Amino acid sequence: MITFLSGGTGTPKLLRGMQRVMDRHEISVIVNTAEDIWISGNHISPDLDTVMYLFAGILDSDTWWGIRNDSFTTHEEITRLGTNEFITIGDRDRAVHIARGDMLRNGMRLTNATKILCDRFGVRENILPMTDTEVTTQIKTDLGLIHFQEYWVRAKGNIVIREVVRSFHEPPVATEEGLAMIEASDAVVIGPSNPITSISPILCCEGLKSAVKDKLVIAISPFIGNNPISGPAGALMEAAGFEPSSLGTFNCYEGISDIFVQDVRDPVEVKNSVRFDTIMSDEEKSIALAREILSLI
Ligand code: GDP
């Protein structure tokens, strides 16, 4: 078994390849939930949803969020009624958020709600949230603290970041199921996700870092030069005090990763790194990188 630590774009692209070259029951994923948000009364967990939809074979892989060919009738109607729903939510996608919101309101752990939804979608891989309590990545701007989704989706990242803040009522703790999964794994793979908003929240869950300590940990960079392949990782890395590059990513995972993978095109030198073609522009390229990563284990 291999445990992957995942956000909602870079690592899912790797998982798209892994599901073709591994026994699907041997794939375990611990997913970031610090971007979760309640919208229009329902619970959106963007990264959990992307990973679940990917394995269910229904992900919109043009955007890496939402369900392929979904309709938007409810979103259009509640927008017309004056509700400011700043995330465009598809109808089938919303059904998942309604179901999960109900389960959580009834006191169910997010771990169990995720398991129920995955079973309904026929997912064979093991998907777990990083923790069962609420953690939120917030962005400190000149106008105050805003949710990461407001920064990235509503403001399209066009706001100067003063600081990245993680807020919670109680310090997040890794789940028993997640720790057991790591214990049973031959390796842990930190996929090419955003180090600040996707991977750090997972690593900060109590018990996680010590669980991966005795495991082979492979980390893959989401950067080439000073630019991420996509998304706001550059600005977030700088705000968190890291160089926006593979070197900054390596430093972010210092003491955690045993093998660091960067792209063959990357002009930045990270000592002792392994070089592969990490741009997963289609499924074949995801499969090729998945094979390379497995060859390290
Ligand atoms: P988010 O939750 O949507 O922010 O997604 P992740 O954190 O999982 O992934 C975002 C990161 O994925 C970005 O920093 C991108 O640079 C990286 N990324 C996206 N596609 C690729 C790819 O094909 N290869 C690599 N190496 N990184 C990628």
Number of domains in the chain: 1
d(CA 215, CA 198): 20
Q: Which of 6, 9, 87 to mutate to test the pocket of ligand 1 (most atoms within 8 A of CB)?
A: 9
Q: Are 139 and 145 in contact (CB under 8 A)?
A: yes
Residue 280 clears pLDDT 90, i.e. is over it:
yes
Residues 183-210 have a mean pLDDT of 98
Alpha helices in the chain (DSSP H): 10-21, 46-56, 73-80, 91-105, 110-120, 148-149, 176-183, 200-203, 208-212, 233-239, 246-252, 283-295
Q: Which of 194, 250, 276, 282 to mutate to test the pocket of ligand 1 (most atoms within 8 A of CB)?
A: 194
User: How remote is the CA of residue 10 from the centroid of ligand 1, in Å?
Assistant: 3
Is residue 102, in this structure, part of any structural domain at all?
A: no
pLDDT, position 27: 98
DSSP 281: -
Measured from the CA of 191, which atom of ligand 1 is nearest?
A: 8
**103 Cβ contact list (under 8 Å, min separation 6):** 112, 113, 116
pLDDT tens for each residue of 3-27: 999 999 999 999 999 999 999 999 9
Structure tokens at 82: 């004056």
Q: Are 131 and 177 in contact (CB under 8 A)?
A: no
Q: Which of 109, 257, 120, 280 is CA-nearest to residue 189?
A: 257
Tell me the pLDDT band of 221, cut-offs 50, 70 and 90.
very high
Per-residue b or e along 186-211, where b marks 16 or more CB atoms closer than 10 Å to that residue's CB: ebbbbbbbbbbbbbbbbbbbebbeeb
Residue 84 clears pLDDT 90, i.e. is over it:
no
Residues 89-112 have a mean pLDDT of 98
Is residue 206, in this structure, part of any structural domain at all?
A: yes
Q: Is the CB of 194 under 6 A from ligand 1?
A: yes
pTM for the model? 0.97
Q: Are 133 and 169 in contact (CB under 8 A)?
A: yes
Is residue 132, in this structure, part of any structural domain at all?
A: yes
Structure tokens at 175: 């789940």
Is residue 205, in this structure, part of any structural domain at all?
A: yes
The whole-chain average pLDDT of the chain stands at 97
Is residue 228, in this structure, part of any structural domain at all?
A: yes
Is residue 81, in this structure, part of any structural domain at all?
A: no
Is residue 73, in this structure, part of any structural domain at all?
A: no
Residues 274-295 have a mean pLDDT of 98
pLDDT, position 69: 98
Say which CATH number the domain at 290 has: 3.40.50.10680
Question: Which domain does 131 fall in, by range?
Answer: 2-37+123-296
Is residue 44, in this structure, part of any structural domain at all?
A: no
Q: What are phi and psi of 95, to 5 degrees?
A: -60, -40
User: How remote is the CA of residue 105 from the centroid of ligand 1, in Å?
Assistant: 32
Q: Is the CB of 198 under 6 A from ligand 1?
A: yes
User: How remote is the CA of residue 189 from the centroid of ligand 1, in Å?
Assistant: 14
Structural element, H or E, at residue 69: none
Q: Is the CB of 231 under 6 A from ligand 1?
A: yes
